[in-house]
Amino acid sequence: MNVLAIDIGNTRIKWGCGREGGWLRQGWVPSTRPEALAAEFAGLPAITRAIISCVAGDEVRVAAGAALPAVTEPPLWLEASAAQCGVRSSYADPASLGPDRWAALIGAWHVTGAACVVVNAGTTMTVDALGSDGVFLGGCIVPGARLMREALARDTARLAARDGSFGYFPDNTGDAIFSGTVNALAGAVERMARHLGEITGTAPPVILSGGDAALIEKRLNAQVVVVDNLVLEGLLHIATQPGV
């Protein structure tokens, strides 16, 4: 069974064609150009089913849906649920959890089968705690690196956008902004890891994905496992389960 998995985010639409055991092709287009998916999908092998996570607006969702190739089964637009693929949700309203976060949790559980902190660093960064029994304990959402820097440039008088690099003791404003952004992101992850470790008794690994993963990977005081396109991994795992 060939599966087309699509992760429609706020900045990029990532996709992969695969089957149980691995990917055949992957790619992405900007979220501002969902119609470009049609050309991306040209030449794919016959698709049995499509599974889609979408956190973008309705206009992008409709355009992406129109670009889908012919599929044997109706496309599945993922929604979070109370339990799926070994993961159970303790969210107050399970259905209100973003489908990207739900797919990433399932992908991470499939990778580790153990307690972990699941991080997707993109336009926003989500930091979610997964218990040793597969229960999603909860998580937080913070602005991503670009949004943080844009907020400073927009809402302050003397912190205009500028280039910078990371340093532990920055000596110029560009580096101070960049370093502050990285430290804020890394700090959110490390705090979650510490709290989860206090519950489980063992320091949990951090499963890290997203376009800004490289910004914080080396700044984390934790065991880090980088997984490219964790949401797609979760979508593929969901789609290849019997009865889904």
77, 95, 123 — which closes off a domain? 77
| Segments forming the whole domain that contains residue 224 | 83-145+172-234
Structural tokens at position 166: 């990371």
Contact, 126 vs 139, CB < 8 A?
A: yes
Inside any domain, residue 239:
no
Catalytic residue among 7, 58, 93, 100: 100
32, 51, 77 — which closes off a domain? 77
Does the pLDDT of residue 158 top 90, yes or no?
A: no
Inside any domain, residue 200:
yes
176 and 118 assigned to the same domain: yes
28 and 132 assigned to the same domain: no
pLDDT of residue 4: 97
Inside any domain, residue 186:
yes
Of the ranges 40-44, 78-82, 142-146, 161-165, which one carries the lowest mean pLDDT score?
161-165
Question: How many Å apart are CA 174 and CA 165, to the nearest integer?
Answer: 7
Inside any domain, residue 96:
yes
Question: Is 100 among the residues known to form the active site?
Answer: yes
Question: How many Å apart are CA 71 and CA 37, to the nearest integer?
Answer: 15
Does the pLDDT of residue 159 top 90, yes or no?
A: no
10 and 52 assigned to the same domain: yes
Does the pLDDT of residue 43 top 80, yes or no?
A: yes
**Average pLDDT of the residues in 42-69:** 95
User: pLDDT band at 244, cuts 50/70/90?
Assistant: low
77, 105, 127 — which closes off a domain? 77
72 and 131 assigned to the same domain: no
Question: How many Å apart are CA 41 and CA 67, to the nearest integer?
Answer: 8
Does the pLDDT of residue 156 top 90, yes or no?
A: no
42 and 126 assigned to the same domain: no
Local structure of residue 205 (DSSP, 8 states) = P
User: pLDDT band at 20, cuts 50/70/90?
Assistant: confident
pTM score of the predicted model: 0.94
Contact, 182 vs 143, CB < 8 A?
A: no
196 and 215 assigned to the same domain: yes
Residue 236, SS3 per DSSP: helix
Residue 14, SS3 per DSSP: strand
Return the ∠ at Cα 40 (arms to 34 and 44), rounded to 5°: 135
pLDDT of residue 34: 96
Inside any domain, residue 154:
no
pLDDT of residue 242: 74
32 and 113 assigned to the same domain: no
178 and 120 assigned to the same domain: yes
87 and 56 assigned to the same domain: no
Does the pLDDT of residue 37 top 80, yes or no?
A: yes
Inside any domain, residue 120:
yes
Nearest to 150 by CA among 178, 179, 184: 178
Inside any domain, residue 99:
yes
**Domains of the chain: total:** 2
Tell me what the pLDDT averaged over the chain comes to: 94
Of the ranges 58-62, 99-103, 149-153, 185-189, which one carries the lowest mean pLDDT score?
149-153
Q: What are the two backbone dihedrals, phi and then psi, of residue 77, each rounded to the nearest 5 degrees?
A: -90, 110
Does the pLDDT of residue 120 top 90, yes or no?
A: yes
11 and 128 assigned to the same domain: no
What ranges make up the beta strands (E) of 144-212? 206-209
- Could you read off the pLDDT of 161-218 as tens digits, one per residue? 788 899 999 999 999 999 999 999 999 999 999 999 999 999 999 999 999 999 999 9
Nearest to 160 by CA among 147, 170, 175, 150: 150
180 and 221 assigned to the same domain: yes
CATH number (domain holding residue 223): 3.30.420.40
> Which strands form 206-209's sheet, in the order they lie side by side?
83-84, 87-89, 135-143, 124-130, 116-121, 206-209, 224-226
Inside any domain, residue 244:
no
115 and 23 assigned to the same domain: no
**Average pLDDT of the residues in 124-140:** 97
